[in-house]
Chain A
Amino acid sequence: MNKNELVKLIDTTKCTACRGCQVACKQWNEMPGLKTRNWGSYQNPPELGWNTWTLVRFQEYVDSKGILKWLFRKEGCMHCTDAACVKVCPSNALYRTEFGTIGLHASLCIGCKECITACPFDVPKYNPHTDTILKCDLCYDRLKGGELPACVKSCPTGALSIGKKEVMIENAYTRAKELGGDANVYGDTFVGGTHVLYVLGEKPEVYENLPARPAVPLTIVAWKDWFKPLSLIAAGGVLIGSFFHYITHGPKDTGGNSDQTCKGGGE
């Protein structure tokens, strides 16, 4: 295992939805705030966008005992180990960093939007002004400089923390155990383990826009892991096959070369 692997832990039970992370993210990454419409929720902007790489989702939930709960979940790139976006990216614009996170060379992006389709978490967003996608890179530049990601740095309640993978997984399970009830750890058991973990207060199914069992879509696996090698084998096969056909079976005899036949026909 990669010793540099980092994991960001989001303890949703400690989040007060101050949205400091959202602002810090925009500030550090110099992303503009765009005009949005009030749709009756503090969740603003309403969804992730090319200019919004992280977002606190607000959700009202009535549990089985009839108790109304206000759930806050910081949404953003999960930095999968088995990342569908990296698998499909034709230009290597999306890549795995030494921290196990998924970085983005926006200058290499060709705007094909394949990652948008492939991502099981619906994270990458398209910026029509630059014809590239954009997404959280877990502040790769800050991590390289030994700094905390902007969101973690800004978090006043300790809901966000980052550290070595094993340590963070351990912390997550300790915290979930401490909370008891439906509290659980989300992220370490699928798509090869995400580099963003949640401690969720409720079952994953309860949360809006959060797949309960995320996976690299089967069609993407079929496309990239099966048909890519298969098409190379097929293409190589006919190239080599045709060559050997020519030197063994030989070309078809279609009545000698055209000149002789023509003379015959013309005379």
Chain B
Amino acid sequence: MIPKKGMIKVSDTFERIVHWCLAISCIVLMLSGLGMMFHSFNFLAIPVGGLKNLKLVHNFTGLIFIPSLFFAILVWWKEAAIFDVPDDIEWIKCAGGYLWHVENPPETGKYNPGQKAFFIAVAVFGIIMIISGLIMWFPLEFSASTVRVMFFLHALGFFVIFPFFFIHLYLGTIGVPGSFPAIMTGYVTRAWCEKQCPKWLREMEENGTLEVFGEEKPAAEHH
């Protein structure tokens, strides 16, 4: 997956590191959480030698998840948490052409409203998962009625995050071909960019900040 000449840079090194720290900790948390939540998934504890270890894996992976989410919010909130009215509303009305045939779906910036919804869900429920999770880790320090609410919120968080996560996984790989390199090498094709983030592409070109592989970096981006 080596970038080729003419490909466009859509994510920098720090973004990709944050993405994968968040993604991997999230996957480990979901698998270990499932292993404890459902008796039928108890077998997920076998590789780590039992549920007691799975609990430790879950709790300490949570500690990796906390800074990952913090930096994710810091890095992406400007591009992924603010809706672009009215274009984004139009996009939502036709589901961006993802569910039924739409001749010309509204143009989007760096992230489309679906991705923004995913980001907001992860940010909000991620924070809820962190707070409820930490309280559940030390339940004896809090009143039982408080901890009971945390259990409920933790389950609600999984209910919300998992579907978003899986749709993100699907659309980031086979669902939208050409997307995966965006988070691996950071470079995508120009054709992909024109389809997926035309407004962002135009804006970058107008500002002269677009980084193209094989071409000299724009002055502003020199490191």
Which residues of A pack against B, CB within 8 Å?
88, 90-92, 108, 110-114, 116-118, 122, 126, 131, 217, 219-220, 222-223, 227-228, 230-232, 234-235, 237-239, 242, 245-246, 249, 251-259, 261-262, 264-266
Residue of B nearest to A249 (CB): B99
Question: Besides the contacts A90-B39, A234-B159, A254-B195, what 5 more A-B pairs have beta carbons closer than 8 Å?
Answer: A110-B54, A117-B148, A219-B148, A219-B151, A246-B175
Q: Which residues of B contact A111 (CB under 8 A)?
A: 52, 55
Q: What's the A-B contact tally at a CB cutoff of 8 Å?
A: 155
Q: Tally B residues with Cβ within 8 Å of A.
A: 54
**Contacts A231-B158, A235-B166, A237-B163; A114 near B176 (Cβ below 8 A):** no
B151 touches A117 (CB 8 A): yes
A266 to B2, CA, bound (A): 14
Q: Is B139 an interface residue (CB 8 A)?
A: yes
Select which of B154, B166, B177 is within 8 A of A254 by beta carbon. B177
Q: Mark B172-189, 1 if CB is under 8 A from A, else 0.
A: 001111110100000011
5 A-B residue contacts at CB 8 Å?
Answer: A238-B162, A261-B190, A262-B4, A262-B7, A266-B4
Q: Is B194 an interface residue (CB 8 A)?
A: yes
Q: Is B75 an interface residue (CB 8 A)?
A: no
Q: Which residues of A contact B14 (CB under 8 A)?
A: none
B147 touches A117 (CB 8 A): yes
Q: Is B204 an interface residue (CB 8 A)?
A: no
A235 to B37, CA, bound (A): 14
Q: Which residues of B contact A255 (CB under 8 A)?
A: 178, 189, 191-192, 194-195
Select which of A91, A237, A252 is within 8 A of B98 by beta carbon. A252
In chain B, positions 1-58 with a C-beta closer than 8 Å to chain A are: 4-7, 36-39, 42, 50-52, 54-55
Minimum C-beta distance from B12 to chain A (A): 20
Main secondary structure of the interface of B (DSSP, over half): helix
Q: Is B144 an interface residue (CB 8 A)?
A: yes
**Contacts A111-B55, A258-B181; A223 near B151 (Cβ below 8 A):** yes
Select which of A112, A118, A230 is within 8 A of B159 by beta carbon. A230
Q: Which residues of A contact B145 (CB under 8 A)?
A: 217, 219
B4 touches A220 (CB 8 A): no
Q: Which residues of A contact B170 (CB under 8 A)?
A: 242, 245-246
A238 touches B166 (CB 8 A): yes
Q: Which residues of B contact A217 (CB under 8 A)?
A: 145, 148
